[in-house]
Amino acid sequence: MFPTSPVVWLAVFLMLPASVSLGNSACTIRMSSYLGGSGDDDAVVGLRIAADATIVVAANLAGDFDPLVKPEKTGGDAGRRGAVLRLSGDGRRILSFHRIADEVKDLALDGKDNICVAAGKMGAIRLSPQADQVLWTKDLGDSCDRIDAAADGHAVALVAGKQVVMLDPAGKQLAAIAGKAFTTDVCIDGATKTVVYTGFRNARAHDGKRNEPVQIAYVKAVGYDGREKWTDYDWSTDQTSERFVNRSTNNMADTRAYRCAVGRDGKLYAAFESAGGNHIFRRLPTNIMEKAPLVGGGPHHEFWGGGGAVHRTVFGRFDIHTGKVDLVQQFTGRDEKNRCTNVRMKQGAVAADEDGRVFLAGGAGASLPIDLDPIPSQPRGGPFLLGMAPDLRGRLVCTRMHGQGSVHALDVRTIGRQAVVVYGGSGAEEGMFVQDAVQKAARGKDGFLVILQGAASP
């Protein structure tokens, strides 16, 4: 899947356009494109790779995007911004385009490649695999902001950042539970019939000298019936509790859990932010007294050296059945004085392939360890993609196509013998690197879509 011999490395190099600096990346750029019309509100908000290699996209697009699509491939209500696009596996052809809602916010596929869309105030919508038929809609009483679907056809929706709603394959509500404080994401696993949701709460805790404000992340799991299965982190501020957040040491760095996903390997992946090195993820998620398997390895995967309360990323692999942590890794930028710099996951995404290779997409201010660099003249920040080996130690790729905007969506899948990675977001202006694009120029602040591939497996 990723190159392991000099011969394969040479083959990858020969596939790259001359303008792209390979560095040590194990990925090549297949396609990079703007997606948008006039104005500054266009955005790619959901992405999945279907079993037939089709790229399925949820995007909010201005009306003058439509001329890029052949009329016979369009459908839905032309007055709506929220659309579902299907692109060929190489991203160079738009196969279909349907405007389905006033706004779309997320997208997922079930085991039959039916398309589930978080459609804001219009609720949850399930479409056929070709997006040409509405299978059902579900009014959730408020904005459907996040959605995920399991192989067995069940789905879970996050409503207004407050409520987690489980739906059966026909769209019938099975259960609804209140999230906790700030609930940020949901995912679902059909094999274990588990729903996971993430977030954080504001609290105050005694740090050994005084009570101070602190944000504490959580990851929680329930069954399809809404009954609790397990909780990770979410530490207590009661000094007499065995779960006291500072019982082992000072763990007062603000932490937020922003994203969760079930990888194609069946494991749970979660992505967090920390405002310091003394974070709760250094400890086991259910035992504050024991150290976690924190991988580290090099300055971009350690939080030493200061930098103030900048936002740094932490991510990990978990057993979805029990919540037990497998591995935890950190990621930060480094400035010219070797201080930590912002690496954000607030609007980002996490995914993993069939072999447990982990990919993160987020936003960074500067100073990333870029190794696939099509825009070397710009600061080494922006909407980035990071790929890590299954041991979370080796970096497979770190790249960005432009220096501004945000990433919102990500997926990875093995097609044939190659890993295909697709990510996208918003805020792309002139200056983005484009290759084999369906839209070569920006029309304002546009959405964007990037497809990478790894080298073929031996």
Mean pLDDT of 257-279: 97
- Per the structure, how many domains does the chain have? 1
The yes-or-no verdict on residue 127 having pLDDT over 60 is yes
Q: Tokens representing 130?
A: 């070709």
308 closest CA partner among 333, 349, 283, 341: 341
The yes-or-no verdict on residue 15 having pLDDT over 80 is no
User: What residue ranges in 292-381 does DSSP mark as E strands?
Assistant: 312-318, 325-331, 333-334, 340-341, 343-352, 358-364
The string of pLDDT tens digits covering residues 300-328 is: 999 998 777 799 999 999 999 999 999 99
Confidence of residue 244 (pLDDT cuts 50, 70, 90): very high
Q: In this structure, are residues 408 and 370 in contact, taking their beta carbons and an 8 Å threshold?
A: no
Mean per-residue pLDDT over the chain, rounded: 92
Angstrom distance (rounded) from CA 238 to CA 245: 8
Mean pLDDT of 238-267: 97
Confidence of residue 3 (pLDDT cuts 50, 70, 90): very low
Q: Which are the contacts of 262, defined by CB distance < 8 A and separation ≥ 6?
A: 148, 150, 187, 188, 189, 196, 268, 269, 320
The yes-or-no verdict on residue 105 having pLDDT over 50 is yes
Q: Residue 384 is which amino acid?
A: F
Does residue 31 form part of some domain? yes
Alpha helices in 42-104 (DSSP H): none
Which comes out higher in pLDDT, residue 108 or 18? 108
Confidence of residue 379 (pLDDT cuts 50, 70, 90): confident
Angstrom distance (rounded) from CA 448 to CA 432: 9
Does residue 78 form part of some domain? yes
The yes-or-no verdict on residue 350 having pLDDT over 50 is yes
Q: Residue 146 is which amino acid?
A: R
Does residue 1 form part of some domain? no
Measured from the Cβ of residue 315, the count of other Cβ atoms closer than 10 Å reads 24
Does residue 34 form part of some domain? yes
Cα angle for residues 162, 409, 275 (degrees, 5° grid): 65
Does residue 413 form part of some domain? yes
Does residue 174 form part of some domain? yes
* Element housing 13 (H / E): helix 6-15
User: What residue ranges in 61-167 does DSSP mark as E strands?
Assistant: 74-76, 82-87, 94-101, 106-109, 115-118, 124-127, 134-138, 144-149, 155-159, 163-167
- From 256-260, 285-289, 413-417, the region with the lowest mean pLDDT: 413-417
pLDDT reported for residue 18: 30
CATH code for the domain in which residue 242 is found: 2.130.10.10
pLDDT reported for residue 455: 59
The yes-or-no verdict on residue 8 having pLDDT over 70 is no
Confidence of residue 76 (pLDDT cuts 50, 70, 90): confident
Q: In this structure, are residues 146 and 165 in contact, taking their beta carbons and an 8 Å threshold?
A: no
The string of pLDDT tens digits covering residues 128-186 is: 999 999 999 999 999 999 999 999 999 999 999 999 999 999 999 999 999 999 999 99
Q: In this structure, are residues 213 and 270 in contact, taking their beta carbons and an 8 Å threshold?
A: no
Q: Tokens representing 212?
A: 């101070």
The string of pLDDT tens digits covering residues 47-56 is: 999 999 999 9
pLDDT reported for residue 24: 59
- Percent of the chain surpassing pLDDT 70: 94
Does residue 83 form part of some domain? yes
Confidence of residue 221 (pLDDT cuts 50, 70, 90): very high
pLDDT reported for residue 433: 96
The yes-or-no verdict on residue 23 having pLDDT over 50 is no
Beta pairing class for 74-76 and 94-101: parallel
pLDDT reported for residue 70: 84
418 closest CA partner among 390, 386, 387, 457: 457
The string of pLDDT tens digits covering residues 222-243 is: 999 999 999 999 999 999 999 9
Confidence of residue 12 (pLDDT cuts 50, 70, 90): very low
The yes-or-no verdict on residue 26 having pLDDT over 90 is no
Quote the domain boundaries for residue 12.
Answer: 6-454
Does residue 344 form part of some domain? yes
The string of pLDDT tens digits covering residues 403-443 is: 889 999 999 999 988 889 999 999 999 999 999 999 999 99
Angstrom distance (rounded) from CA 284 to CA 322: 13
